[in-house]
């Protein structure tokens, strides 16, 4: 038997991918260099809304090294001036007559090197006639508002209306309710700001008639299918390779015009083309997240039992509905906004609106609008507690879905798989010393100091998704794994999802190690190449573990079933006389007679029973029966400086429950990163436009990303409530902290100011905003 430890589920295995990353040996798209490669750069609009009167490329074309300038007029002739979005809208690749947002792509330059291309971008002359931009989504809905999208049949800026829940029942409860609280909340535009920007290298090989695209894609298979459908090139003639990726967070799911233009240029010019965005282009023009204007109401009894929730949201989608939500959910999974609380009814309505801004709606480290949903309910519960004079912890305990109610059918139709909310909150309160903190707060308040304690007890919804409900452009959202065990007992696992830093090369190897009893070191994981990986819908929305993770476990179990037959042959017993225990097939009642997977693997190629196929491999396309519902209880303690309005996060404890944990070290890392990405919109980040639609936050000087300096010391803990339907009991984890942290922080800030009559503050809670409140309340120093 092998003496090398297996290190399967639950082991803090160091990330297998890190040795190449920390040595600078990763291969990112910009590391791909092909002979004769040309460089593409993009001319962008200085206007949010303008007619294009003339594009004159003559000066650019006269520059040495400039090979071509591509315009919308040329793409139109090729039928490529527009492309479909993943939400069944259409989006300009390059404009033919008008631009509809600031920094929109206007033309593309191809040159022999990157610097010449950048210089030539400045030499392309474009004459614009500015038009009135529509920037406020409420004004966009007014009759007579200028049209953002005159190309559409429907002559309004309204995109769609979407509802969930029972309106009649909800309205009835609101009419008879003892207490009603309501609040407007704005969740502003933010940007994913992955370290690596977007880009691609496209190579068309005339000899093999094959198009290869190295691309920063979170969903290479889905992108290949879309490329094939749009271009008419057969799918097997397209190969998309998603190499190492420096962060995706949802921003690498949409198809950007740059990809299409680069592909067109490669086919036209017969040369490899590289296009890599610079930092400002990425920040100014790629798809944005959030931008939800929410009106929320809760109906409750006087003693604090929530009875119903009513929400209406105006969703600013910018000029194109280019979000990447599952087809049937234009507002994503926003209807999970009843959160962790049991109530009789709910009704949620969302209206999507066009404005002259870059396309919005990307699921930024969030399972399709769950951040917005969680922020809404977690703020509203605190507002209700404030109205009733209740403690925010007490009101949560009173309203939690109880452990015995799972599986729980929510009033908007979701079936929560498992949870134990009171246990998680109690653990967090005990660990942080909640009662003591409340005593300290009272003392400080008496001295005029501003200290707040905020709680967030969120429920996530991840793992899209079950094929009966979830598809993107008709493609069902299952995921896949393919495992091949080699004769000497090492193995290769190919998966349909694509890592962008989450450590899949380690955790997926651990799943196989656990299921097959092979040491984790001997298992290699591959992904991201459409020529070799099985078809999958990609990595976003914390779906990898719930979908491809399950597929990997099921594929491994299929291998184990075949291995049982080979073990029986080797041990000369019936397969029924064997049991899988301690990582080997053992004869029942005689556990010393056993065969390890390594021995079985060798026999699978050298000594398998007659009638059985040789080899040891399996494939699984896993269609999850349900989503998974991770949850957590976060407690945040803040102090506010009365002289500057600055909020200091003194303490933050995150107790998370993501079911069975595959790798506790990776999970902790995911939570640390996610918490920082939750701190960011709570206190710092917001995309701002001026009255002309020009972005004012187009560089990191103005768009504040938290650095190590601004990030507090995160404390983490866990409870474990396995998912009953996932083969390993695992739920996703990557997004929980991003969605759970902002309301905990905001609730803490509002709690620090509640005795002054403050009930809500929209994020980001900047020092300027807080100082203004302190001035108004007469407590500024």
The set of residues, in sequence order, having a beta carbon less than 8 Å from that of 480 and lying 6+ positions away, is: 495, 496, 533, 534, 535, 536, 548, 551, 619, 620, 621, 622
Taking CB under 6 A as the criterion, the residue among 543, 560, 586, 595 binding ligand CDP is: 543
Structure-derived torsion over alpha carbons of residues 30, 33, 37, 41, reported in degrees to the nearest 10: 10
Considering beta carbons, is residue 189 or 504 the nearer one to ligand CDP?
Answer: 504
**245 bridge partner residues:** none
Q: Between residue 647 and residue 666, which ones bind ligand CDP under the rule CB under 6 A?
A: 658-663, 666
Long-range contacts of 407-410 (CB under 8 A, 24+ apart): 407/724, 408/342, 410/336, 410/338, 410/346
Set 193, 198, 366, 636: catalytic member: 366
Structure-derived torsion over alpha carbons of residues 48, 50, 52, 53, reported in degrees to the nearest 10: -150
Of 405, 400, 410, 426, nearest to 370 by C-alpha is 410
Q: How many CB atoms lie within 10 A of CB 338?
A: 26
Residue 218 annotated as catalytic:
yes
Cα–Cα distance, 228 to 246 (Å, whole number): 26
Q: Verify binding: residue 542, ligand CDP, rule CB under 6 A.
A: yes
Set 104, 218, 500, 510: catalytic member: 218
Residue 735 annotated as catalytic:
yes
Considering beta carbons, is residue 732 or 742 the nearer one to ligand CDP?
Answer: 732
- Asked whether the beta carbons of 453 and 437 are under 8 A apart, the reply is yes
CB of 401 vs ligand CDP, minimal distance in Å? 21
CB of 684 vs ligand CDP, minimal distance in Å? 23
Helices (H), 535-663: 550-571, 597-606
CB of 543 vs ligand CDP, minimal distance in Å? 5
Residue 102 token pair: 């600031």
Of 415, 225, 376, 378, nearest to 290 by C-alpha is 376
**x/- site string to ligand CDP, residues 674 to 713, per CB under 6 A?**
----------------------------------------
Q: Verify binding: residue 667, ligand CDP, rule CB under 6 A.
A: yes
Considering beta carbons, is residue 348 or 658 the nearer one to ligand CDP?
Answer: 658
Taking CB under 6 A as the criterion, the residue among 734, 737, 740, 742 binding ligand CDP is: 734
Q: Between residue 254 and residue 293, which ones bind ligand CDP under the rule CB under 6 A?
A: none
Q: Verify binding: residue 633, ligand CDP, rule CB under 6 A.
A: no
What's the full length of the chain, in residues? 781
CB of 518 vs ligand CDP, minimal distance in Å? 18
Residue 636 annotated as catalytic:
no
**Sign of the CA dihedral running 214, 216, 221, 225:** negative
Considering beta carbons, is residue 304 or 536 the nearer one to ligand CDP?
Answer: 536
Taking CB under 6 A as the criterion, the residue among 135, 640, 733, 774 binding ligand CDP is: 733
Considering beta carbons, is residue 387 or 623 the nearer one to ligand CDP?
Answer: 623
- Asked whether the beta carbons of 542 and 589 are under 8 A apart, the reply is no
CB of 735 vs ligand CDP, minimal distance in Å? 7
Residue 295 token pair: 């009106």
Considering beta carbons, is residue 185 or 541 the nearer one to ligand CDP?
Answer: 541
Residue with tokens 């390059």: 94
**x/- site string to ligand CDP, residues 499 to 538, per CB under 6 A?**
---xxx--x-------------------------------
Cα–Cα distance, 323 to 91 (Å, whole number): 11
Considering beta carbons, is residue 272 or 734 the nearer one to ligand CDP?
Answer: 734
Considering beta carbons, is residue 148 or 654 the nearer one to ligand CDP?
Answer: 654
Taking CB under 6 A as the criterion, the residue among 730, 739, 753, 763 binding ligand CDP is: 730
CB of 553 vs ligand CDP, minimal distance in Å? 12
**635 bridge partner residues:** 455, 653
Q: Verify binding: residue 545, ligand CDP, rule CB under 6 A.
A: yes
The radius of gyration of the chain's CA atoms, rounded to the nearest angstrom, is: 28
Set 7, 15, 310, 365: catalytic member: 365
Distance between alpha carbon 730 and the CA centroid of its chain, in Å?
A: 18
CB of 676 vs ligand CDP, minimal distance in Å? 16
Site size toward ligand CDP (CB under 6 A) is 23
Q: Verify binding: residue 199, ligand CDP, rule CB under 6 A.
A: no
Residue 691 annotated as catalytic:
no
CB of 600 vs ligand CDP, minimal distance in Å? 26
Considering beta carbons, is residue 272 or 732 the nearer one to ligand CDP?
Answer: 732
**751 bridge partner residues:** none
What is the phi/psi pair of residue 422, to 5°? -60, -40
Considering beta carbons, is residue 126 or 472 the nearer one to ligand CDP?
Answer: 472
Q: Verify binding: residue 670, ligand CDP, rule CB under 6 A.
A: yes
Cα–Cα distance, 658 to 55 (Å, whole number): 54
Cα–Cα distance, 26 to 37 (Å, whole number): 21
SS3 content of the chain, % helix, strand, coil (to 5): 30, 25, 45
Considering beta carbons, is residue 257 or 501 the nearer one to ligand CDP?
Answer: 501
CB of 736 vs ligand CDP, minimal distance in Å? 8
Helices (H), 212-252: 220-231
- Asked whether the beta carbons of 601 and 489 are under 8 A apart, the reply is yes
Q: Verify binding: residue 732, ligand CDP, rule CB under 6 A.
A: yes
Secondary structure string (H, E, C) spanning 714-732: EEEEECCCCCCCCCCCECC
Summarize as ranges the residues that interact with ligand CDP (CB under 6 A).
502-504, 507, 539, 542-545, 658-663, 666-667, 670, 730-734
**Which residues are known to be catalytic?**
218, 365-366, 735
């Amino acid at each position: 038997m092998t003496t090398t430890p297996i290190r399967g589920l639950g082991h803090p295995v160091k990330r297998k991918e890190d040795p190449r990353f920390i040595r600078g040996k990763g291969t990112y798209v910009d590391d791909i260099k092909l002979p004769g490669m040309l460089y593409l750069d993009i001319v962008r609009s200085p206007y949010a809304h303008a007619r294009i009167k003339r594009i004159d490329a003559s000066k650019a074309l006269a520059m040495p090294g400039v090979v071509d300038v591509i315009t919308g007029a040329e793409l139109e002739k090729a039928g490529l001036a527009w492309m479909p979005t993943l939400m069944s809208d259409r989006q300009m690749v390059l404009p033919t007559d008008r631009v509809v947002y600031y920094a929109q792509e206007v033309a593309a330059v191809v040159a022999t090197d990157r610097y010449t291309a950048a210089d030539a971008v400045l030499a392309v002359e474009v004459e614009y006639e500015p038009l009135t931009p529509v920037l406020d989504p409420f004004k966009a809905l007014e009759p007579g508002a200028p049209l953002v999208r005159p190309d559409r049949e429907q002559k309004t800026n309204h995109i769609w209306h979407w509802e969930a829940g029972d309106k009649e029942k909800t309205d009835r409860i609101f009419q008879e309710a003892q207490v009603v609280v309501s609040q407007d909340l704005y969740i502003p535009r933010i940007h994913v700001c992955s370290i690596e920007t977007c880009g691609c290298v496209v190579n068309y090989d005339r000899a093999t008639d094959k198009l290869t695209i190295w691309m920063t894609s979170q969903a290479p298979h889905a992108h290949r299918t879309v490329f094939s459908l749009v271009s008419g090139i057969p799918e097997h003639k397209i190969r998309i390779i998603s190499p190492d990726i420096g962060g995706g967070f949802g921003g690498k799911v949409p198809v950007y015009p740059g990809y299409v233009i680069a592909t067109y240029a490669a086919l036209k010019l017969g040369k490899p083309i590289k296009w890599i965005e610079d930092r400002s282009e990425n920040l100014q023009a790629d798809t944005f997240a959030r931008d939800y204007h929410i009106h929320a109401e809760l109906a409750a009894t006087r003693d604090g039992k929530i009875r119903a929730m009513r929400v209406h949201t105006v969703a600013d989608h910018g000029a194109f509905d280019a979000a990447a939500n599952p087809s049937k959910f234009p507002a994503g999974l926003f209807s999970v906004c009843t959160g962790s609380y049991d109530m009789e009814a709910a009704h949620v309505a969302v209206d999507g609106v066009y404005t002259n801004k870059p396309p919005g709606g990307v699921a930024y480290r969030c399972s399709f609008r769950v951040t917005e949903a969680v922020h809404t309910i977690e703020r509203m519960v605190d507002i209700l507690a404030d109205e009733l004079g209740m403690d925010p912890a007490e009101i949560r305990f009173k309203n939690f879905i109880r452990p015995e109610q799972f599986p729980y059918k929510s009033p908007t139709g979701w079936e929560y798989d498992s949870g134990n909310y009171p246990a998680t909150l109690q653990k967090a309160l005990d660990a942080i010393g909640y009662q003591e903190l409340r005593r300290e707060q009272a003392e400080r308040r008496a001295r005029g100091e501003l200290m707040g304690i905020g709680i967030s007890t969120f429920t996530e919804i991840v793992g899209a998704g079950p094929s009966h409900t979830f598809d993107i452009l008709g493609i069902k959202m299952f995921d896949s794994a393919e495992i091949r065990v080699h004769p000497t007992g090492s193995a290769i696992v190919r998966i349909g999802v694509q890592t962008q830093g989450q450590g899949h090369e380690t955790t997926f190897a651990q799943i196989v190690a656990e299921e097959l009893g092979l040491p984790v070191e001997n298992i290699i994981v591959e992904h991201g190449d459409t020529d070799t990986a099985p078809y999958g819908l990609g990595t976003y929305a914390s779906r990898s573990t719930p979908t491809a993770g399950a597929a990997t476990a099921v594929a491994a179990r299929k291998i184990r079933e075949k291995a049982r037959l080979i073990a029986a042959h080797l041990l000369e017993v019936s397969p029924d006389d064997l049991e899988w225990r301690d990582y080997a097939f053992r004869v029942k009642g005689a556990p010393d007679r056993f065969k390890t997977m390594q021995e079985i693997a060798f026999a699978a190629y050298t000594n398998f029973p007659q009638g059985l196929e040789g080899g040891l491999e399996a494939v699984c396309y896993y269609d999850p029966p349900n989503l998974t519902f991770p949850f957590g209880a976060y407690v945040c303690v803040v102090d506010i400086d009365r002289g500057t309005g600055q909020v200091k996060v003194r303490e933050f404890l995150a107790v998370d429950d993501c079911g069975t944990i595959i790798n506790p070290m990776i999970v902790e890392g995911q939570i640390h990163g996610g918490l920082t990405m939750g701190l960011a919109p709570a206190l710092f980040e917001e995309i701002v436009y001026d009255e002309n639609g020009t972005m004012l936050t187009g560089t990191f000087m103005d768009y504040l990303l938290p650095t190590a300096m601004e990030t507090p010391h995160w404390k983490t803990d866990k409870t474990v409530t396995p998912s009953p339907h996932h083969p390993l009991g695992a739920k996703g984890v990557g997004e929980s902290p991003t969605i759970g942290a902002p309301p905990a922080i905001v609730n803490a800030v509002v709690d620090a100011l509640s005795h002054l009559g403050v009930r809500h503050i929209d994020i980001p809670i900047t020092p300027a905003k807080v100082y203004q409140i302190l001035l108004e309340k007469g407590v500024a120093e």
